[in-house]
Amino acid sequence: MKLEITQHPLSGFMGGPHIVSFSVPLNKAKYEIRIKQQGKREISIYSEDGCYDDLLFVYYALETLLMLCDGQFYPVTRAFDGTDITSSFVERKLPSQTSADFMVSAAAKLLEFDTVLNESVFLKWVELSEKLDLIHKMVMYCLSAVEMPKDMQCAYMVEAFKGVCELVHNQKPSFEIFGNGRELNLKTAFLAIADKYGSEIFAEEYSRNRDQFAQILVDTRNRIAHIKSRNGRRVLDGSESVAYIIKMSFLYRIVLFDLLDIPQNNYDQALKMHIRKIDETETVKQFIACLKENKPVQVDKDLESDIYNLLYDFVYSVAIYRSIHSRSGDHYDPRITKEHFWISISDNCIQQAVVDWCKVFGSNNERTHYSKIHPCLVADFEQAVKEEGIDFSQYSKDMKNFRDTFISHRDEKKRRKPIPDLDPAVIICDLYDQIVLCAEPNRLPFEFADFFIKSKAEVLQYLDLLGIDSVVG
């Protein structure tokens, strides 16, 4: 059983000579692969004991792997499996396997396939593409000739990096992201990938304004989900979208190269040359010139320290409250002295936690209000809270109402107010730390969500050492 495919560009010739041969196992069969390129590319896949469906699977996996090297899918000019099947084979190709005109260029190639392709890389790619699942298909459509507006293709291309970030995090333990078990917001995910892999690709944008650049990409994507609410935000236009689809395609491909253990020195010079040409276009020059130039921001260090300490105290108070509450019995008996002690401690902790939180996220007239440092990042922070599904404005009102009517003044009927859900408050602290406090150079995130978990465990350990199994009689 044999499949022979010939590929040839619509114009010009392919370089060469490049030849590679290797075999791969699949479903208890072996498939012999040979690729020869000189002027045109000839792919031969042979198996004595395989099935035809697996033969096609091997070809399509190989074709998408070659696309990572070339940056484009080359048209099939001949397909043969014992008979000429060219017409039916071409008709069966997915639209995503036809590259957009802006990708059909030697300027998309990063490396020659014979420098990296072997059995090990192929099998890693089969495994990796299964994990990528729809992410890779979506990226291929963004780079294809499908009839879709370019700004829409760009939006979906940006969206893909949330999944890419999670994949890299799972594959590379040393790659740190600050999701703390929650769903990442898109801007954090994109910047995590771009910071690690895109220093060459986005060097000009980063030197001008890294944060604004990332926000523009995210707002371009957000046009899919938000219509009127996105009005007034800077987004990429059509020509800019094309330029940044190409740039993001390079970013996507070198991420996959890293996951396939393909060394950077194989493609580094080609990448630099391609990016330099893109940066020299008037479209990209004008876009970068529109970014606000980074300027040092003077931050009141005492104010920043006070905010930080309030958040720290809030999280620790919640941890103590939750730990004591977890040791509570099912009844309340005011005659038990010990019970009065623990209830008093518990109430004091929750009251102090709410007061501390409101000093940062409550009224604007608070000296330590969250908007008083790095005000340019307030919109990003509030958007991140929204993406977590939290109605920040209403939640803040609820917390202030609890403080005002139960802690500060008590309402006239002196009823015990339901304690607000504090999980959103911890999430808000964590996002504020990541997006605003971490804007300071060389400052690592405190990871408030992790600190909450560790603090609760610490309090429970202390109760265990005291032999306290229950805080009520």
DSSP 396-436: HHHHHHHIIIIIIS--TT-PPPPPPP-HHHHHHHHHHHHHT
d(CA 248, CA 254): 10
Spatial strand order of the sheet with 2-7 comes to 14-26, 29-46, 2-7, 76-80
d(CA 33, CA 119): 9
Question: Cis peptide before 424, with omega less than 30 degrees from 0?
Answer: no
CA proximity to 34, closest of 12, 15, 6: 6
CA proximity to 392, closest of 366, 431, 355: 431
pLDDT at 292: 82
Mean pLDDT over residues 16-33, rounded? 93
d(CA 221, CA 225): 8
pLDDT at 4 over 90: yes
d(CA 399, CA 353): 10
Long-range contacts: 116-121, Cβ < 8 Å, 24+? 116/69, 116/262, 116/266, 117/20, 117/22, 117/35, 117/65, 117/66, 117/69, 118/20, 118/22, 119/22, 119/23, 119/24, 121/65, 121/260, 121/261, 121/262
Least confident of 197-211, 259-273, 378-392, 444-458: 444-458
- The whole-angstrom distance between residue 442's C-alpha and the CA centroid of its chain comes to 21
Tell me if 35 sits within 8 A of 117, measured CB to CB.
yes
Out of 111-125, 138-152, 207-221, 422-436, the most confident range is: 111-125
Rg (CA), the chain: 29
pLDDT at 180: 44
pLDDT at 120 over 70: yes
Residue 333's pLDDT band, with cuts at 50, 70 and 90, is very low
- The whole-angstrom distance between residue 436's C-alpha and the CA centroid of its chain comes to 18
pLDDT at 335 over 50: no
